[in-house]
Structure 1
Amino acid sequence: MDSTAPSPSVLVIGSGISGLACARALHDGGATVRVVDRGRVVGGRLATKRLDDRPVDIGARYFTVPEGPEFSDGPGFSDPVADWLDRGLVRPWTDTFESLTVGAPSERKSGPVRYAAPAGLRSLATNLAESLRTDGVPVEQDSEIEAVPESGVVAGIRYDTIVLAMPDPQAARMLEPASPVAEELFGAERWQPTLSVVLAWPERRWPADLHGAFVNGSPVVAFIADDGDRRGDGAPVLVVHTTAEFARAHLEHPETGIDAVIDEVNGLLGIRERPSSTYAHRWTFSNPAEQHSEPFLLRGRIAVCGDAWGAHSAVSTAWASGDALGRALTA
């Protein structure tokens, strides 16, 4: 970037991992950047809920680390992960999950190492946000912005670029009706919902070597995570992610789906007792049903990034998309 030219000013809307990665790349590249989010805390779908006096991951299940950078010649997701490992913010969790099929014996399948966070995955977003704030970048929560015009003027301030770091349907709702950007985004029908249902027992009621399980053939359950095993404190807590079809039927009142989830999980894992406490959280746009081929979208003053932009929906993809966009804006 020409050092005699004024640094670009960028507004990043969304303080999930994609927005925070974008803000970090923008700041490191010399841009003036501000991050805002309507939520009370950072993290987006890196969501952690405190239940029964302990944090429980109710958003992303885990993350993996791809080999090398996902896009072009960027630093790669392994760089922040290495820092988090040094700080004790993340831990290798497991490379083995069960594959449970209704009415059939279970199978054990190995894959890449899945990482988890002892304090919950939202702690990683908190770390990124604190680092930005230390460097003088505003990261503002409880900040509602309802519309983003093509002019780049928001609340009387003109920005060179406005970044929408969020699922496509949420980004589209913020754009002008005739916005050409909205036409390139996936509609709500191309995103999958899920319910994250937390089930806690007084003590563990399932096999000690169960880390997590993909579930096949169930109309209710898609994935089960042992949250105590995942976080390393041994708490007898399961987090269940439902199928998209089941979630659609219970999005308005997520709590109405809890009993069916309990029955399905108890049947799959051979548990006889009902949990002592439960909680359900809805994710209307949990993950995209398909992916954009590009790492981000940039049209005029409007940009969009997130986990839908890349090879597959993942925490690493969300980070790489935001990082690639931030570097592109300051190149």
Structure 2
Amino acid sequence: MVVVGAGIAGVACAVELTRAGVPVELRERGRVPGGRMASRRFDGRPADLGAAYFTVDDPDFAAVVDRWRAAGLAREWTDTFVAYGPDGRREVPGPVRWAAPCGLRSLVEHLARELPVTVDRLVLGVEPGPAVDGGRCAAVALAMPGPQAALLLDPALTEATRAVQAQRWAPALSGVLRFPSRAWADFRGAFVNDHPLLALVCDDGDRRGDGAPVLVAHTTAEFAGRHLTQPTAAGPAIEEAVRDLFGLPEPADLVHVHRWTYARPVEGPTDRTHHLDDDGIGLAGDAFGGRSRVQAAWRSGRDLGRALATRLG
């Protein structure tokens, strides 16, 4: 059994298969597990580049989160963001957002700690049978955005192809900005409404709990779409927009821009948590059901793993 993609959906799928006694190979094209729960270190300090936080309302996912908290990997962050818009700034209460002191990627790594993960492994194709890169296996799970899965699928796999074609995704850029000091008014996270460039800005020092003068900005899909070929060139515009929003007098001394071609699903199935067809091809990820995207991705992978274990068992 092969699972392609070591984000939280792929890892949750592999965990269920392993618990059921199904031999699993987990393959990841990147250098580390994590997927869009990505973090990167700058001068030894992690900053989250993908998902900004996660929320919890599923009891089974809550049990996973409790284990993360007990291990010191996750903490409750805030239940209040602010929103900036044409009418100024206002507070926006909501569910408790959770954060990870070592970066959200550490949570995926914790789940995957006993799994056979092969990184830097690019899968080139999935064929009927099923087969991965020409090698036969009992089944295949693709835990990734639909457009990426579509590139791997043989046209003969019509059910899976239709399932991924039903998904629509939006891009985003994430900008990490480190400033000389914390010169902004107190906030945790800020939704930015009706802005041509910014969609969300998080105080990463507050989120991480170390007070570092670091902000992480997430752009609109429209702005990102114009800069996907050269994301680094968008850095000055992102910095200027953040400084203008918060009235910051000093420039950032570090600016890093990360490109997410498929940052978030904007259209996908809401009536099921995963796809599994008669060809033995499964699909999982946050495109399947649920607004709480980290939780939805975990539940999607968990449910696909259980369905595959039942079929293969």
Cα displacement string for residues 187-207 of structure 1 (whole angstroms, at most 9, x for unaligned residues):
68x210000001110110101
2:161 counterpart of 1:161: no
Q: What CA deviation, in whole Å up to 9, does each residue of 1:263-284 have, x standing for no partner?
A: 2111211112211110000000
Letter in 2 for 1:51: F
How many residue pairs are counted as aligned between the two chains? 307
How far 1:53 moved relative to its partner? 2.3
Tell me which of 168, 171, 189 is aligned to 1:193.
Answer: 171
The Cα shift of 1:313 comes to: 5.6
Q: How far, CA to CA, are the matches of 1:227 and 1:45 in structure 2? A: 17
Q: Which residue in 1 is equivalent to 2:285?
A: 306
Structure 2 matches for 1:131-150, cutoff 5 A?
A: 131-132=114-115, 138-150=116-128
Give the structure-1-normalised TM-score: 0.90
1:171 paired residue number: 149
**Structure-1 residue corresponding to 2:79:** 95
Which ranges in structure 2 are unaligned for 5 or more consecutive residues?
none
1:4 corresponds in structure 2 to none
Match of 1:265 in 2: 242
**Cα distance in 2 for residues equivalent to 1:184 and 1:64:** 27
Coordinate RMSD, CA, aligned:
1.3
Report the equivalent of 1:57.
48
The alignment-based identity, stated in percent, is: 47
SS at match of 1:330: helix
**Offset at 1:155?**
4.7
Report the counterpart of residue 122 of structure 1 in structure 2.
Answer: 105
Which residue is 2:203 aligned to?
Answer: 226
State the Cα distance separating 1:330 from its structure 2 match.
1.7
Equivalent residues in 2 for 1:20-35 (5 A)?
20-35=11-26
Q: Which amino acid aligns with 2:75?
A: R
Cα pair distance change 1:65/1:313, threshold 3 Å = closer
After superposition, give the CA deviation of every residue in 1:229-279 in whole Å (9 maximum; x if it has no partner): 001010000000000000000011111211221221112111122111100
- Give secondary structure in 1 for the equivalent of 2:67: helix
Residue 240 (structure 1) aligns with: 217
**Residue in 1 aligned with 2:68?**
84
Measure, in 2, the Cα distance between the counterparts of 1:237 and 1:59.
Answer: 15
- Cα separation, partners in 2 of 1:169 and 1:155, compared to 1, 3 Å: closer
Say which is worse superposed, 270-279 or 246-255, in terms of deviation.
270-279
Pairing partner for 1:46 from 32, 37, 48 = 37
Match of 1:107 among 86, 90, 94: 90
Supply the distance in 2 between the matched residues of 1:127 and 1:241 (Cα, whole angstroms). 26
Counterpart in the other structure of 1:214: 191
CA distance in 2, matches of 1:34, 1:44: 17
